[in-house]
Chains A and B, each alone.
Chain A
Amino acid sequence: MTLWLTLAVNSIALGGLLFLLSAGFSLIFGLMRIPNLMHGSFFMLGAYFGVTLLDNRIGMNFWAAALVSALAMAVIGGLVERFLLRRLNGQELPQVLLTLGLSFIIADVCLMIWTGDPWQPPTPDHLRGVLQVAGVYFPYFRLVIVLVAVVIAVALWLMVDWTRLGAMIRAGVDDAPIARVVGIKVSQLFTLVFALGAALAAFGGVIGAPYLSVYPGLDAEMLPLALIVVILGGTGSLLGALVGSFLIGFLYNFGQAMFPDLAYVILFLPMLLVLVLRPQGLFGRVMT
């Protein structure tokens, strides 16, 4: 019983991280119609920035480090969109392949700078300890990850559904050419959403670092997870990303515990089912 509860908490924590990763991926995909194959790299690079800032030589506060790293990735993401992807505007395939090429570059540069050894920053002091409820221990840090993910999910939802900017993003997702016609600067939205997605992924990378640690290959591990979540949930749908993230979080942890050999494969099963039965995803709309 305790084991299951612990697993459940871990699953929810991983789900929270996956949401931070895949919310941006989903928005970018919905708006720009391209799967950003460097999204895992944003997560990893952001996490590396974070562990560097947290390192004893700099010793930044945990949350400050996460924010600084997110800002840095927002700038990098914005530059990539503005100066590289923009050149290929409207050519989806070259854009996707460009992000793939950049992901290899980032992976190798990270290996050069941060070496092949894993980095795992300690859990920040004020978030250590456990919460004891009815004889079961919940580590605070896992709960905090979930809390942060929920706060960000609500903030994103408010932004997308209740602000002018959100309305413009939704218009761009639904029909970019018409959105242009009515005066929305869709190309600026592209830059903004790409930067936002990069920042969210980096933020997730930093707050996930004490839990997942950071190592070469983390990018290639996270990217397929974002892909599965978005295929499951439907592109451009935040609710889909949220539900998909927690589903995958649970599958990953329970699969790992019950069928360690096949855990990774089990992750893909719901994706295959959704593809066969409902190709637009659980919460996706049919795209034209």
Chain B
Amino acid sequence: MSWMNAPRWATGVAIALLITLPFWVGNPYYINVASQILLFAVFALALNVLVGYGGLVSLGHAGLFAMAGYAGALMLDAGHGHLAADLTAIAVTVLASAVFGVLALRSTGIGFLMITLALGQIVWGIAYRWQSLTNGDNGVNVTTRPAPFGISLASADNFYFATLLVFLVALITMALFVRSPFGASLRGTRDQARRMNALGYNVWLIRLVAFLFSGFWTGVAGLLFIYYNQFISPQVAALQTSAEALLMVISGGTATLLGPIAGAAIVVIMKNVVSAYVERWNLVLGVIFVAIITFMPEGLVPGSVRLWKLAWRAMRGRPAKAAEPSA
């Protein structure tokens, strides 16, 4: 709980800055970027429950993310209200998470990764090929944003505040989840699955519940995404989206609460900046991936610190000791 150990005033300042952001930023473009960061932070936090605390790397979360988006968009398209659409979308996503979880938890480690990847591809296949349901490559438009309590979220400012609210709720829930006895048992299944089993914990059930929890917040993030973009296409369900979310988690540092948020900020800002100059986002994504995994397996922030120290020592002429991390 790095953010809980941080001085209380730092947390207070960060939250105050986030709440007042639209006032000192002003430009709607940047406010929208901030909304994107927050909604992807919710997604990354959800994925981190599995990757960081459960030790289960999923490459199928784009499928859940897109499923929430499609379910919501299609309900709205069929003329239902926002509340009904959102509840259905969340219910569908949690149900899908249960199916994903039951199948993927037949295995752990690499097997889990492969199965989630295949399941994610199924969702992509449905989104792309089942034309009569999902409108295929043309995607589905979401014409309106909801207006909870009569406050329209059409403007960038209001949408930002709504996203911030959801983000804060997600963050607090995650913090409670991680600190709870259940969170401790989840970490236990990550580190010592056999021992946990011998102690009488139902390892499989703990992992499944973690999967459902992760799926729920992934669904929430998916809904935020369609309301932000007001459009969803099969691209959202593609492997790239899963990889981006995973990059957010591992670039910021797994098994922390701040890591995925920092990672989401890094990836979203980079994507916006890169896309403004070149069309080669996938290339950049791949290069960052390879660079992080090869040179900074512990995450961007700790990794940069380590490399910086190495460079500093090298400049001062002292031999750097044991450069390669053993992890």
B residues near A213, Cβ cutoff 8 Å: none
B residues near A231, Cβ cutoff 8 Å: 114-115, 118
B76 on the interface (CB 8 Å rule)?
no
B residues near A276, Cβ cutoff 8 Å: 103, 106
Q: How far is the CB of A94 from chain B (nearest CB, A)?
A: 5
- Tell me, in angstroms, the Cα distance from A78 to B286 when the chains sit together: 20
- Tell me, in angstroms, the Cα distance from A73 to B7 when the chains sit together: 54
Q: How far is the CB of B252 from chain A (nearest CB, A)?
A: 15
The answer on a CB contact under 8 Å between A94 and B297 is: yes
Interface bits B82-113 vs A (CB < 8 Å: 1, else 0): 00000000000000000000010011011101
A residues near B107, Cβ cutoff 8 Å: 279
Total interface residues on A, using CB and 8 Å?
43
B residues near A101, Cβ cutoff 8 Å: 243, 285-290, 293
Interface-side segment among B124-132, B139-147, B172-180, B221-229: B124-132
A residues near B128, Cβ cutoff 8 Å: 264
Decide: A92 near B109, CB < 8 A? Known: A98-B294, A105-B287.
Answer: yes
- Tell me, in angstroms, the Cα distance from A103 to B290 when the chains sit together: 10
Interface-side segment among A8-16, A142-150, A267-275: A267-275
B280 on the interface (CB 8 Å rule)?
yes
B238 on the interface (CB 8 Å rule)?
yes
- Tell me, in angstroms, the Cα distance from A263 to B238 when the chains sit together: 18
- Tell me, in angstroms, the Cα distance from A235 to B268 when the chains sit together: 37
B78 on the interface (CB 8 Å rule)?
no
B residues near A224, Cβ cutoff 8 Å: 117-118, 121
Q: How far is the CB of A105 from chain B (nearest CB, A)?
A: 4
Mark out the residues of chain A between 83 and 98 whose CB falls within 8 Å of any chain B CB in the assembled complex. 84, 87-88, 91-94, 96-98
The answer on a CB contact under 8 Å between B114 and A279 is: no
Q: How far is the CB of B317 from chain A (nearest CB, A)?
A: 27
A189 on the interface (CB 8 Å rule)?
no
- Tell me, in angstroms, the Cα distance from A117 to B227 when the chains sit together: 33
Main SS at interface, chain B: helix
Instruction: Across the interface, name the chain A residue whose C-beta is closest to B103.
Output: A275
- Tell me, in angstroms, the Cα distance from A105 to B239 when the chains sit together: 14
The answer on a CB contact under 8 Å between B294 and A96 is: no
Q: How far is the CB of B105 from chain A (nearest CB, A)?
A: 10
Interface residues on B, range: 35 or more
From B59, B110, B115, B119, A33 is in contact (CB under 8 Å) with B110
Q: How far is the CB of A235 from chain B (nearest CB, A)?
A: 9
The answer on a CB contact under 8 Å between B118 and A102 is: no
The answer on a CB contact under 8 Å between A264 and B110 is: no
The answer on a CB contact under 8 Å between B114 and A35 is: yes
Mark out the residues of chain A between 195 and 226 whose CB falls within 8 Å of any chain B CB in the assembled complex. 220, 224
Give the interface centre of B106, B122, B240 by most chain A CB atoms within 10 Å: B122
- Tell me, in angstroms, the Cα distance from A105 to B288 when the chains sit together: 10
The answer on a CB contact under 8 Å between B239 and A97 is: no
Instruction: Across the interface, name the chain A residue whose C-beta is closest to B104.
Output: A275
Decide: A227 near B117, CB < 8 A? Known: A88-B294, A104-B243.
Answer: yes
B246 on the interface (CB 8 Å rule)?
yes
- Tell me, in angstroms, the Cα distance from A112 to B278 when the chains sit together: 12
The answer on a CB contact under 8 Å between B130 and A262 is: yes
Decide: A107 near B282, CB < 8 A? Known: A97-B246, A100-B289, A228-B118.
Answer: yes
A261 on the interface (CB 8 Å rule)?
yes
Interface bits A100-128 vs B (CB < 8 Å: 1, else 0): 11111111110010000000000000000
The answer on a CB contact under 8 Å between A268 and B113 is: no
The answer on a CB contact under 8 Å between A271 and B118 is: yes
From B132, B280, B297, A108 is in contact (CB under 8 Å) with B280
- Tell me, in angstroms, the Cα distance from A231 to B121 when the chains sit together: 14
Q: How far is the CB of B303 from chain A (nearest CB, A)?
A: 13
- Tell me, in angstroms, the Cα distance from A267 to B124 when the chains sit together: 13
Q: How far is the CB of B286 from chain A (nearest CB, A)?
A: 3
* 18 further A-B pairs in the complex, CB-CB below 8 A; given A265-B130, A279-B107: A34-B110, A35-B114, A37-B117, A97-B289, A98-B293, A100-B59, A101-B285, A101-B287, A107-B282, A107-B286, A108-B283, A231-B114, A261-B130, A261-B133, A264-B126, A265-B129, A268-B122, A271-B118
Residues of B near any A CB (own CB < 8 A): 57, 59, 103, 106-107, 109-111, 113-115, 117-119, 121-122, 125-126, 128-133, 238-240, 243, 246, 250, 280, 282-283, 285-290, 293-294, 297
18 sample A-B contacts, Cβ–Cβ < 8 Å, listed by A number: A35-B113, A35-B114, A87-B294, A92-B109, A93-B109, A93-B110, A93-B113, A101-B243, A101-B293, A107-B286, A227-B114, A227-B117, A261-B133, A264-B125, A264-B126, A264-B129, A267-B125, A268-B121
Residues of A near any B CB (own CB < 8 A): 33-35, 37, 84, 87-88, 91-94, 96-98, 100-109, 112, 220, 224, 227-228, 231, 260-265, 267-268, 271-272, 275-276, 279
Top 6 nearest A-B pairs (CB, nearest first) are A101-B289, A104-B286, A264-B125, A105-B286, A108-B283, A101-B290
